[in-house]
């Protein structure tokens, strides 16, 4: 489900009317965090979370942190709640047998980079990961979850959208007030091009914690997109960002289909998109995350554009990670 448009406009009548409900939501989050007794695992827990609801770039950030830890000689495991999956107990993701419908699309993608556990109870999943040999846990989301003690909390935000209208759900996109959340964060990562980064700082000011600036860069796969006619589809937090990436690569996006976040890619939907692409003389293309939800018969028919996180200056993150061991 795409977020309401008024969440990302200056506060108006609707957000003002809903503000009391946002205050109640914020109180509930604060109460849950205050009552929790976080478990210390004995290995570092690195939380990649957000204050906003919806996509901010957490998945490529998790991949980047995992790869930095692996380069330092560590054995990180990833723990996720498995949004959109059907599993009801802690399980290690196996890309050979699991589908996105079982464990969620993000964990299935992440399992290609490090052992990944899906568990509705993040604490149980993390404990199993430690038993399986993890010397660090990278928590995919969970910044507002009190179950585990976080040795390092990194909050991710889309630089272009920032914190929306600054209001808490349902009046705005925030899970908790910005100042409250950032007060608990060890690092803030804003993701976007230079213009968006400048806009972010102008709109929200310098954060109270070290601020990293990054961007998502398409991975070089040898594919020449220049002049390619494509029908692009994406069911992520902000599909327009993916369509813009394709245009920046030189592709001719003859049609773009913005789907709901995590929307199942049924055979009927894919058959319709395939027929439209044939009529337009276009190639079907989607994101790396969406590709995990493709029906088997369409996997060879759809191209993907993988992206990786590049950070302007890695030193603050590398220092923070090194200090944990």
Q: Are residues 174 and 53 in the same domain?
A: yes
- For residues 202 and 319, give the distance between their C-alpha atoms in angstroms, rounded to a whole number: 27
The tokens 């809903």 sit on which residue?
18
If you compute the radius of gyration of the chain from its CA atoms, what whole number of angstroms results? 20
Binding site feature residues: 52-59
CB-based burial label for 253 (10 Å; 0-12, 13-18, 19+) = middle
Parallel, antiparallel or unpaired: strands 136-140 and 45-49: parallel
Which one, of 19, 267, 271, 39, lies nearest residue 137 by Cα? 39
Residue 6 lies in a domain: no
Q: Are residues 41 and 56 in the same domain?
A: yes
Which one, of 164, 126, 131, lies nearest residue 47 by Cα? 126
- For residues 167 and 31, give the distance between their C-alpha atoms in angstroms, rounded to a whole number: 18
Residue 5 lies in a domain: no
Q: Are residues 128 and 244 in the same domain?
A: no
The number of folded domains in the chain is 2
- pTM for the whole structure: 0.94
Q: Are residues 23 and 163 in the same domain?
A: yes
Residue 26 lies in a domain: yes
Q: Is the peptide bond before 120 cis (omega within 30 degrees of 0)?
A: no
CB-based burial label for 275 (10 Å; 0-12, 13-18, 19+) = exposed
Helical ranges in the chain per DSSP H: 13-35, 58-71, 100-103, 105-110, 122-131, 178-184, 194-204, 239-248, 267-280, 288-291, 315-322
**Which tokens hold the place of 46?**
């690195």
Residue 3 lies in a domain: no
Residue 122 lies in a domain: yes
**Which tokens hold the place of 8?**
């990302």
Q: Tens digit of pLDDT per residue, the chain (325 long)?
A: 577 889 999 888 999 999 999 999 999 999 999 987 899 999 999 999 999 997 789 999 999 999 999 999 999 999 999 888 899 899 999 989 999 999 999 999 999 999 999 999 999 999 999 999 999 999 999 899 999 999 999 999 999 999 999 999 999 999 999 999 999 999 999 999 999 999 999 999 999 999 999 999 999 888 899 999 999 999 988 899 999 999 999 999 999 999 988 899 999 999 999 999 999 999 999 999 999 999 999 999 999 999 999 999 999 999 999 999 9
The pLDDT value given to residue 185: 97
**Which tokens hold the place of 172?**
């705005």
The pLDDT value given to residue 222: 85
Task: Note whether 148 and 122 are within 8 A (CB).
Answer: yes
Q: Are residues 119 and 195 in the same domain?
A: yes
- For residues 207 and 98, give the distance between their C-alpha atoms in angstroms, rounded to a whole number: 40
Binding site feature residues for ATP: 52-59
- For residues 98 and 107, give the distance between their C-alpha atoms in angstroms, rounded to a whole number: 10
Range of the domain at 110: 11-214+310-322
Q: Are residues 194 and 255 in the same domain?
A: no
Q: Are residues 65 and 135 in the same domain?
A: yes
Residue 220 lies in a domain: no
Q: Are residues 112 and 17 in the same domain?
A: yes
CATH number, domain containing residue 60: 3.40.50.300
Compute the Cα dihedral for 84, 88, 107, 149 and give only its sign. positive
What is residue 152's three-state secondary structure? strand
Q: Are residues 207 and 284 in the same domain?
A: no
The tokens 């049924």 sit on which residue?
266
Q: Are residues 247 and 209 in the same domain?
A: no
């Amino acid at each position: 489900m795409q977020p309401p448009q008024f969440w990302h406009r200056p506060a108006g009548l609707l957000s003002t009317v809903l503000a009391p409900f946002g205050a109640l939501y914020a109180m509930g989050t604060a109460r849950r965090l205050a009552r929790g007794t976080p478990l210390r695992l004995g290995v570092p827990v690195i939380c990649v979370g957000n204050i906003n609801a919806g996509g901010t770039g957490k998945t490529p950030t998790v991949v980047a942190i995992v790869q930095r830890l692996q380069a330092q000689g560590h054995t990180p495991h990833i723990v996720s709640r498995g949004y959109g999956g059907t599993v009801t107990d802690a399980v290690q993701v196996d890309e050979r047998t699991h589908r996105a419908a079982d464990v969620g699309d993000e964990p299935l993608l992440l399992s290609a980079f490090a052992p990944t556990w899906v568990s509705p109870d993040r604490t149980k999943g993390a404990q199993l990961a430690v038993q399986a040999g993890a010397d660090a846990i990278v928590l995919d989301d969970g910044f507002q979850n009190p179950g585990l003690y976080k040795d390092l909390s990194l909050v991710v935000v889309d630089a272009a959208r920032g914190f929306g209208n600054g209001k808490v759900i349902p009046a705005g996109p925030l899970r908790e007030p910005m100042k409250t959340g950032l007060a608990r964060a060890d690092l803030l990562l804003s993701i976007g091009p230079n213009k968006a980064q400048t806009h972010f700082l102008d709109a929200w000011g310098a954060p109270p914690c070290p601020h990293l600036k990054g961007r998502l860069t398409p991975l070089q796969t040898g594919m020449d997109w220049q002049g390619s006619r494509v029908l692009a589809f994406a069911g992520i937090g902000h599909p327009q960002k993916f369509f813009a990436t394709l245009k920046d690569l030189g592709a001719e996006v003859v049609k773009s289909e913005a789907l709901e976040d995590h929307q199942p890619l049924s055979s009927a939907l894919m058959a319709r998109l395939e027929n439209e692409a044939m009529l337009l003389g276009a190639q079907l293309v989607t994101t790396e995350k969406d590709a995990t939800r493709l029906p088997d018969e369409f996997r060879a028919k759809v191209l993907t554009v993988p992206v990786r996180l590049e950070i302007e200056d890695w030193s603050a993150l590398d220092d923070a990670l090194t200090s944990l061991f």
